[in-house]
Amino acid sequence: MSLLVTAHHMLSADGSSLLEGHALLVDGSRIVRVGPETTLSPHAGARLDLGDATVMPGFVDAHTHVSVRPGDGDQHGQLARPTAWLALRGAKNLEAMVASGVTTARIMGEPGGIDLAAKALIDAGDLVGPRLRVAGSALSATHGHGVALGVADGVEGVRAAVRRNVAAGADHVKIFMTGGVSSFTGGLYDHHYGREEVRAVVEEAHRVGRRVAAHAHGGPGVTICAEEGVDSIEHGSLLTDENVDAIVRYGTSLVLTKSIAHHPDGIERGDASNPVVLEKLRAAREADRAAFERVRASGLPYAVGTDGMHGYLGEEIVWLVDQGVPVAEAFGAATWEGARVLQEVPDVGRLHAGYRADVIALGGDAFS
């Protein structure tokens, strides 16, 4: 049966403006038509009037995790917990994502196949959560940042890890290229995989139609990833001019994750008692703002992700707007730019006929 969704404001299909007096005609899980309410009313079975709200496409969290909670601190300790503990707690995280308007999420590495199981259970209707695209275990060098999410070394080792993940049902491949804020495995500009290993990952993944995402903050590791055909750079909080040039030249996607580093409920809350992590965090915040200016100056498109800050996708948008980004551009980063990164889900992120009816409503006029 068709449903007519009406509200005072509706985001236009290109995301540039708010339409008044418009409605969505939804049939099953698809948007059938978008247009002035008066023209669609005769076709409607049921009606849902959301009053003084803005109807938007559901958010795409382009980089997150099911189980870990940065604000609880010691992420590596959390990930060392039994799989059952992490998975059961993850159910609440998935609910928080949906409650915050996230309808599609790209999961960037889980231990014990938690993401693979969560995706299957959500698809079967046994678990509440957004539509998931999953990586399975991630690939980290033995001395790298992401060892809690999977270890693979050497050209043959990374090839085997990609094959294992694909066989288990992974939609994409995640590698840890540089150091990270919440670990003690080297600086954020250091990288742990060599060019040959990155090339082997890309070759293995692309041969079977899987895209490759690299955790990479800045420095030579970012440039190597772009040059070797990695599809997306994740975080990018210390991008240099050379890094930005390489990302532009090779058409690499960029996924920014800001609230984990900048929001007081992120790493700051979780690891407030750890001076090494806090020092890294403070330095990263400064450099991050400068890196973001480089991204903006280059005109590079970017998506956003919460990186485990479940329920905080709105804070990613707030951070962007605080840096002077127009609201429409910030919403774009949280909707269709995320959908572009998830190329295998081409019909989300816009209110457009034929797209999936992933529809959310924000109170009032969302542009003001």
Q: C-beta of 130: minimal distance to Zn ion in Å?
A: 16
Q: Which residues bind Zn ion (CB under 5 A)?
A: 108, 307
| Cα 36 → chain centroid | 33
Smallest separation, CB 110 to Zn ion (Å): 10
The nearest distance, CB 180 to Zn ion, in angstroms, is 8
Question: Which CB, 77 or 364, lies closer to Zn ion?
Answer: 77
Given the complex with Zn ion, which of 197 and 307 has the nearer CB atom?
307
Of 107, 149, 19, the C-alpha closest to 310 is: 107
- The DSSP call for residue 252 is -
> Residue 85: left (phi > 0), alpha (psi -120 to 50), or beta?
alpha
Q: Which is nearer to Zn ion, 258 or 352 (CB)?
A: 258
Burial class from Cβ neighbours inside 10 Å (0-12, 13-18, 19+) for residue 119 reads buried
Please report the sign of the dihedral spanned by the C-alpha atoms of residue 346, residue 93, residue 332, residue 18.
positive
Query: Which residue has its beta carbon closest to Zn ion?
Result: 307
CA dist., res. 24 & res. 208, Å (int) = 37
* 3-state class (DSSP) for residue 134: coil
How many Cα atoms occupy the beta-carbon half-sphere of 223 within 13 Å? 11
Of the two residues 4 and 256, which places its CB atom closer to Zn ion in the complex? 256
Give the Cβ contact number of residue 167 at 10 Å: 10
Q: Which residue, 171 or 307, has its beta carbon nearer to Zn ion? A: 307
C-alpha 114/C-alpha 119 separation (Å) is 9
How far apart, in whole angstroms, are the C-alpha atoms of residue 330 and residue 151?
35
Shortest distance in whole angstroms from residue 356 CB to Zn ion: 25
Please name the residues in contact with 324: beta carbons below 8 A apart, sequence gap of 6 or more: none
CB of 269 to Zn ion, least distance (A): 17
- Least Å distance between CB 283 and Zn ion? 19
Closest C-alpha to 138, from 118, 112, 156: 112
As measured in angstroms, the least distance from the Cβ of 63 to Zn ion is 6
Fill in the DSSP letter of residue 147.
Answer: G
In this complex, which beta carbon is closest to Zn ion, that of residue 219 or of residue 266?
A: 266
Nearest approach, Cβ of residue 64 and Zn ion (Å): 7
Q: Report, in Å, the least distance between residue 23 CB and Zn ion.
A: 38
For Zn ion, give the closer residue by CB, 6 or 237.
237
Nearer to Zn ion, 108 or 139 (CB): 108
Nearer CB in complex with Zn ion: 102/108: 108
Q: Among 224, 334, 241, which residue's Cα sits nearest to residue 287?
A: 241
